[in-house]
Structure 1
């Protein structure tokens, strides 16, 4: 049973947690306004999805596109407004997770959970680089909170909320399925973690209702998103069994950076010990985090795995680890928070210096986030100079920013039409029309025109940044290279 809140809000640990999250978020939003880091290719692609609202997209479910459309409708198609959901969604996750923590610990430890989350290295990065992980996290945290509540009481409304959180989480990223895996395993192993059948049924019905349109979209589009996910997993295309133990070690090592060395180390220490403690909640939290980490580690052994693929595990991990450190190892908790706060202060400032800070070799430290706008401006300038109204490219990175920079202009952007199944979103949705007969400008980082034999109309060596090792070649193509134009 939760205790009543103290009368003096200023001394209430939960309000202190709210204030800390708010202060960190304000700091991030202010520095985001001064960021010099341009959009990465994935961020530009998510923005483009928001321009073409649908129930699904080539590589991800649709929620991130919807969110970015909402924010840019409010403030415009600027880097600030495209990235603003990052710090705001992370702050929301921290506060929701604090509510979930109140189901398993006291107010002070719950406040520390919120502060620990909002300063995690992966969260600090996610506050400045909008991603599907960032959009997923508040719904995953909400599902944890509501499920824990339902273990102690029957509630149709909480069950509806649980199904809604899981459904919206799946519309953000299919990694939300890890919740179903963990909760199912937890209910099997920990009897106290079972919720009423009625509540489980309500949650399941709401969940299916929310995700149904995306399932229908996938069926109507040759299971495009699921196929892309399978390509990322990369099992089907690899005949035989190839084990990569070094990739597994690399992935597990990366979790010390993603979740912080103290928190991840503490989880590895506490996880096996949770099963000998009398309380059931620690065992359930281990089962909500460990299977995700194990599955992604196996994936790394079989093929590859990126550091963020198990990021949802950090929520249950913090609910387990932070209360234990607060009550039994406070020195380690302070060490973790100091390390993470230092990064939380430094990284936002680093984004304001993206065009200035360099490595000892003279390259920009954040080169991958610099140079996109200049490249697009050079291509569009050449298109206007040559009097064409279409630009075609075979490069997804170029296309992603070109769509953003050409919005509202008289220049249309197209991808090279695919042969067979498209290998990216632009080839799927924006191939060069077979019936178009007008000349176009072909932009490539390769050394060949779209068709025929021709010398480049223009070549350009980009400034230091994402393309500093490439040469842009522009070809004026007088005819359609991929089909007979309509008469």
Structure 2
């Protein structure tokens, strides 16, 4: 047991130490989550608020907005989730099962990536794991305190990402098909009450803001927006999503999970069947989403909390060599990813940076801000969400204010929603974009090209970034 805990802590420490030396720039989503935290609200354009709050807390304590502090919650939250998963497996099957499960969770490729690049899944999964642990305790003995804690954990999960609702889906299947997983009506009611209390602020925020986050989630689902439209089945999307699950959990562990599901979904003991119903419906539901529209590999991430608790002890007990091979594959990737981030600006494959998507963003922002200062401009305007995300982070404390081009009707991103270029500006601004044509302005507005850069590599490889001086009134008349 001590070995399992030490292994999780050692892997977490390794990730934290190498994160301090990472040369990868903030990805567009990471920079946006940081920006959310600069204006604390109960909801944001595309996600609930918890990730913004967490990043704000870490950067406030550190007194720094450097990428290290923005990303530090990643390895710490996943390390905590691994310990909760370890405790759950231990409660079910003993110390050895707990140790085997904890290190298996911590080494999963999806976790390795989430420990390197901060995401909403990273914030969600510890609360999903806690809710599962509390559910197990309630199957053993009724407890008002544990029931309230379970509901609060699910509520906090929903405040991180709406995918936490999968817990409720799995719980419904579990109480229908698994007698041993049923809890008392009183405990269920208390959990529901705690859930609503914790999640209510985001519900109210959505109601006050035109259901912004909900509508964005519906946009991601896509096919529900116009049910009358003839559906086109996306079999290639299904294959891509399902294949991606071997990458999220690890190829051997996911294959073993499918074997365990086939063997135990009908005849297994109740804990095994409970864990199947807390994981399999999530994967199948996202498979449906993938075939009807599209789905990213991480959209089923909550499934792997229960999946690894089910799979790792079973594989360790029955095929230890295969377990060790599976763990070895995952650990190799888990150790390599932080190193890749350290050498993000130099590791190449076929003349391309391995982490090219995470390089060059800060340099582009620095050039834009430098051009604005040289031209004596204090406002920078852009259309691209990618540019705006990093500009907001890079511009903090410089005296230069970034803005989004204003949009009519449905806005395409958070910056257009919260920071549209204001009316009544009397001074010119700098406009930056990946285009060879100047911005569309009101007739008679001054538009002068200042400079352009051909970008050889990184996130904007092969593109040309152009900066224009734009007179007042461009987007306001």
Per-residue CA distance 1:202-236 (angstroms, 9 max, x = gap): 11000000000000000111100010011111112
Question: Displacement, 1:191?
Answer: 1.7
The answer as to whether partners of 1:96 and 1:142 remain within 8 angstroms in 2 is yes
Question: Displacement, 1:448?
Answer: 2.4
* Partner residue in 2 for 1:139: 127
Among candidates 462, 465, 469, match of residue 458 of structure 2: 465
* Partner residue in 2 for 1:225: 213
Per-residue CA distance 1:227-270 (angstroms, 9 max, x = gap): 00111111125821110112111111111111011111111111
* Partner residue in 2 for 1:21: 8
Q: Hey, what's the Cα distance between the residues in 1 that align with 2:38 and 2:146?
A: 34
What is the TM-score when the length of structure 2 is the normalising length? Answer: 0.97
Confirm or deny that 1:214 pairs with 2:199: no
Among candidates 81, 102, 116, match of residue 128 of structure 1: 116
Question: 1:391-410 to 2 correspondence within 5 Å?
Answer: 391-410=380-399
The answer as to whether partners of 2:448 and 2:470 remain within 8 angstroms in 1 is no
Question: Displacement, 1:283?
Answer: 0.8
Among candidates 335, 340, 351, match of residue 330 of structure 2: 340
Per-residue CA distance 1:268-315 (angstroms, 9 max, x = gap): 111122134352111111111110000000000000000000011111
* Partner residue in 2 for 1:304: 294
Question: 1:421-432 to 2 correspondence within 5 Å?
Answer: 421-432=410-421
Alpha carbons of 1:275 and 1:376: their partners in 2 closer, same or farther (altered >3 Å)?
Answer: closer
5+ long unaligned stretches in structure 2: none
The answer as to whether partners of 1:371 and 1:463 remain within 8 angstroms in 2 is no
Bigger Cα displacement from structure 2, 161-170 vs 362-371 = 362-371
* Partner residue in 2 for 1:265: 255
What is the TM-score when the length of structure 1 is the normalising length? Answer: 0.95
Per-residue CA distance 1:93-136 (angstroms, 9 max, x = gap): 00011111123211111111000000001111111100000000
Q: Hey, what's the Cα distance between the residues in 1 that align with 2:252 and 2:52?
A: 35
Among candidates 358, 364, 379, match of residue 348 of structure 2: 358
* Partner residue in 2 for 1:326: 316
Question: Displacement, 1:435?
Answer: 2.1
Q: Hey, what's the Cα distance between the residues in 1 that align with 2:309 and 2:16?
A: 26
Q: Hey, what's the Cα distance between the residues in 2 that align with 1:390 and 1:187?
A: 57
Q: Hey, what's the Cα distance between the residues in 2 that align with 1:222 and 1:317?
A: 37
Q: What is the root-mean-square deviation of aligned Cα atoms in Å? A: 1.2
Q: Hey, what's the Cα distance between the residues in 1 that align with 2:473 and 2:69?
A: 37
5+ long unaligned stretches in structure 1: 1-12
* Partner residue in 2 for 1:160: 148
Aligned residues: 470
* Partner residue in 2 for 1:9: none
Dislocated runs of 4+, deviation >2 Å: 275-278, 447-455
Question: Displacement, 1:450?
Answer: 2.4
Q: Hey, what's the Cα distance between the residues in 1 that align with 2:340 and 2:102?
A: 24
